Structure 1
């Protein structure tokens, strides 16, 4: 039995793949170092991330998989559900061990699971792009918090870079405690340790720009004016806009609820 631990990065996970092939010792489990529990049976192998080794694995995958499949593999990494590392390893091992393209081999459980995980992440990405609402702070920064089911922050950065290229903005993932900051030139991922009272969907009133409340009320008035009570369909509404996303939307704040 072989437990491999890594630093939690995608490069680190690809390095685990390299090391497993180098040792010819397939993992029975792969865990992040800060989450791993000492194993009473078998061997625990701590694998430091190595960019060159990770690149060699990625280049090998490029020869075996299409661009779409490579994207699905990365999306599965962002999926973060229990066992996702082992799922990725099994998929990669199947790809390297086959002379044919495996992308349509749904008889292999890992192929179907990777596609399903990627679809879930892709859906969450689009919802975050649609539902994120920024609040303008007193120093001119547009700030938003998110708490997505999956780690989609790296996937939505490009969308907001294009949409708000002329504004400084920051998006903070309260669940994973890191964010993205755009300074009008480039975006960088940042780690923040905010106190619990700041890990919420709204900015404290004292930190907001003086006009922010007026804009929020204006949006609520607009939403109410275009809403047609006779055409309300709560079930359809919840299907397209699940309740867990309401905390991001100005029109769903207490002042506009019915």
Structure 2
């Protein structure tokens, strides 16, 4: 089986799709290098990320299919689903044939899976814009999160706009990636072990934790407390860094 491998970036994926589309020997599968399971039977071709190829595929999706489809494709890429590259490749090929009408083929497994996975990622993004909690470390706001999907690239603008006058770091400890914002702009980076340990173990000034606890107490009416609704709206798996819920136990 002929397999194309790309790097972790969205640019790498679209570069691989460009080469797959124009190659006389088309691949049967496309994988991110991190998800590919090596075997002795596959013919593996390592694809280099190419900015020109990326932009051509990016613009072709936007113009020949739709901006909405491009957004869904990006969300599926961020899902880190093992077969996401193949699913996206199949969807793009289908989209280039059908144009915007591809979105109407809701009974097609490819379209169905693109919709389903992209909605899951979008939903987690929405939840984390409300569930991120910060502690203050040396005048920098710091938060550690463990999302199912790689949502840092799509929550960065929300917090940049919300905390425009603050230095902050949002650290995805599952992937060891972080948004670092310096009051002007943000960038995505990985953290060294020493940086990670220093941030995770740093003492909090307590200011933000106190504010969250006071806010939770002031909005909570004991006589109307509904723990079942609270559990649904604030799932337990998000609570490890939600100080106001810890305080209420």
Cα gap change, 1:40 to 1:131, in 2 (>3 Å):
same
Higher helix share: 2
Shift of 1:36: 2.9
CA-to-partner distance for each residue in 1:48-85, whole Å, 9 max, x for gaps?
11111111111211222221121111111011122111
Shift of 1:195: 5.5
Cα gap change, 1:24 to 1:135, in 2 (>3 Å):
same
SS in 1 for 2:115: helix
Task: Give the aligned partner of residue 61 of structure 1.
Answer: 61
Cα gap change, 1:106 to 1:222, in 2 (>3 Å):
closer
Unaligned runs of 5+ in 2: none
2:231 corresponds to 1:238: yes
Distance in 2 (CA, whole Å) between partners of 1:103 and 1:52 is: 27
Task: Give the aligned partner of residue 155 of structure 2.
Answer: 156
Cα gap change, 1:214 to 1:95, in 2 (>3 Å):
closer
Task: Output the TM-score relative to the length of structure 1.
Answer: 0.88
Distance in 1 (CA, whole Å) between partners of 2:125 and 2:196 is: 26
Distance in 1 (CA, whole Å) between partners of 2:185 and 2:195 is: 28
Distance in 1 (CA, whole Å) between partners of 2:142 and 2:88 is: 34
Q: 4+ residue stretches of structure 1 with deviation over 6 A? A: none
Number of matched pairs: 249
Matches within 5 A, 1:28-177: 28-98=28-98, 101-137=101-137, 139-177=138-176
CA-to-partner distance for each residue in 1:202-238, whole Å, 9 max, x for gaps?
6532xx3xxx325524532442343223322222211
CA-to-partner distance for each residue in 1:99-135, whole Å, 9 max, x for gaps?
6621111132111111111111111111111011111
Unaligned runs of 5+ in 1: none
Indicate if the aligned counterparts of 2:144 and 2:173 stay in contact, CA closer than 8 A.
yes
Cα gap change, 1:83 to 1:145, in 2 (>3 Å):
same
CA-to-partner distance for each residue in 1:11-69, whole Å, 9 max, x for gaps?
11111111112214443332222443333224111101111111111121122222112
Matches within 5 A, 1:195-214: 198=197, 203-205=201-203, 208=204, 212-213=205-206
User: What is the root-mean-square deviation in Å for CA atoms of aligned residues?
Assistant: 2.2
Shift of 1:193: 2.5
Indicate if the aligned counterparts of 1:174 and 1:199 stay in contact, CA closer than 8 A.
no
Indicate if the aligned counterparts of 2:6 and 2:32 stay in contact, CA closer than 8 A.
yes
Cα gap change, 1:4 to 1:215, in 2 (>3 Å):
closer
Task: Give the aligned partner of residue 10 of structure 2.
Answer: 10
Distance in 2 (CA, whole Å) between partners of 1:9 and 1:63 is: 22
Greater shift, 91-100 or 3-12, is seen at: 91-100
CA-to-partner distance for each residue in 1:152-179, whole Å, 9 max, x for gaps?
1001111111111111111111011110
Task: Give the aligned partner of residue 248 of structure 2.
Answer: 256
